Amino acid sequence: MTEPTIPQLQPMPEDWRRALAVVAHPDDLEYGCSAAVAAWTDAGREVAYVLATRGEAGIDTLAPAECGPLREREQRASAAVVGVSTVEFLDHRDGVIEYGLALRRDIAAAIRRHRPELVITLNHRDTWGGVAWNTPDHVAVGRATLDAAGDAGNRWIFPELTDQGLAPWNGVRWVAVAGSATPTHAVDASAGLERAVTSLLEHRTYIQALTDEEPETYARGFLTGVAKSVGERFGGRPAVAFELFGR
Ligand SMILES: [Zn+2]
C-alpha cells in the first residue's frame, strides 16, 4: 500500500544576483515573504524593496499625514532586519491605487534602476483562494508588476524613461508571486524564520491597531503557521511559497 503523496513545490531558482520586490504597502512583504529574503541576503544576494504607497490609510485611528511617515519608518526598520537597506516609495495613494499606465511606468522605472533578474510581488488575483477577497491595491500592483517586468525591457513602451537616463533592462527572468493560492516553488525558511518574526514585529503600531493579541505571540503564530503549512509541500521544512512566472 502506498501513502497518498502531496504534490511537492520546486526549489526556487538560485542562479541570480539581484532581486527587486514590488508591493503595495508596508508589511506586505513581512506577512510571509521575509524569511526567504533573509535566506537570500545571507547568501550574498542583493534585494531591494519598492512600495507603491506608504500605507497611510492602514490604521483607522491615525490620520494619513501622521500615519504615512510612521509606517515608512517601521518599513525601513523591518527591511533592515532581513538585510535590505534600499527601500523606495512610489507615492501612489494608499487604498485607491489604480492599475494603469502611470503605475506600470513607475514600476518599469524601478526595474530599470535596480536591474534585477528576479522580481517579487504579492498576489495579484481577486482572492487569496476560496472566498477570501483580495484588496484592489494588491491586485493592481501585482498585475502592474508582472506587466512592468516586460515593459522595462522595451525602449519604445515608455520612451520618456530612456530620456531620463534609465536604459531598458531585459534581464528579468522570473516574477515570483507571494501569497498565491496556486504556488509552484518554495524557499527553505528555517534559517530566516526568527528574523522574519522580528521583521514583522517592526510594524508594531500597525499590529497593535490590528489585534488585541500580544504582538510577539501574534507575529510568531502567524508566520510559523504559514511556514509549516507550506512545508508540508516542501519536504517537511518550514518554507515560503511562490508562484513563479518565467519570462
Ligand atoms: Zn497590503
How many angstroms separate the alpha carbon of residue 162 from the centre of ligand 1?
A: 31
In this predicted structure, the answer to whether residue 147 has a pLDDT above a threshold of 90 is: yes
pLDDT digits 0-9 by tens, 40-77: 999 999 999 999 999 999 999 999 999 999 999 999 99
How many angstroms separate the alpha carbon of residue 129 from the centre of ligand 1?
A: 16
Query: Could you tell me what percent of the chain has a pLDDT over 70?
Result: 98
Between CA 50 and CA 57 the distance in angstroms is 18
Residue found under cell 502611470? 102
Between CA 42 and CA 140 the distance in angstroms is 31
How many angstroms separate the alpha carbon of residue 120 from the centre of ligand 1?
A: 14
Q: What predicted TM-score, i.e. pTM, was given to this entire model?
A: 0.96
In this predicted structure, the answer to whether residue 1 has a pLDDT above a threshold of 70 is: no
What pLDDT band is residue 2 in, cutting at 50, 70 and 90?
Answer: low
How many angstroms separate the alpha carbon of residue 140 from the centre of ligand 1?
A: 11
How many angstroms separate the alpha carbon of residue 23 from the centre of ligand 1?
A: 7
pLDDT digits 0-9 by tens, 185-233: 999 999 999 999 999 999 999 999 989 999 999 999 999 999 999 999 9
Between CA 37 and CA 193 the distance in angstroms is 10
- Report CA Rg, the chain: 18
φ and ψ of 133, to 5 deg: -70, 135
How many angstroms separate the alpha carbon of residue 71 from the centre of ligand 1?
A: 12
Per-residue pLDDT, 247: 83
What pLDDT band is residue 4 in, cutting at 50, 70 and 90?
Answer: low
CB 75 within 8 A of CB 51: yes
How many angstroms separate the alpha carbon of residue 96 from the centre of ligand 1?
A: 12
How many angstroms separate the alpha carbon of residue 139 from the centre of ligand 1?
A: 10
Per-residue pLDDT, 7: 86
Per-residue pLDDT, 195: 97
Find the mean pLDDT for residues 28-34.
95
Per-residue pLDDT, 5: 77
Between CA 181 and CA 36 the distance in angstroms is 18
Average pLDDT over the chain reads 96
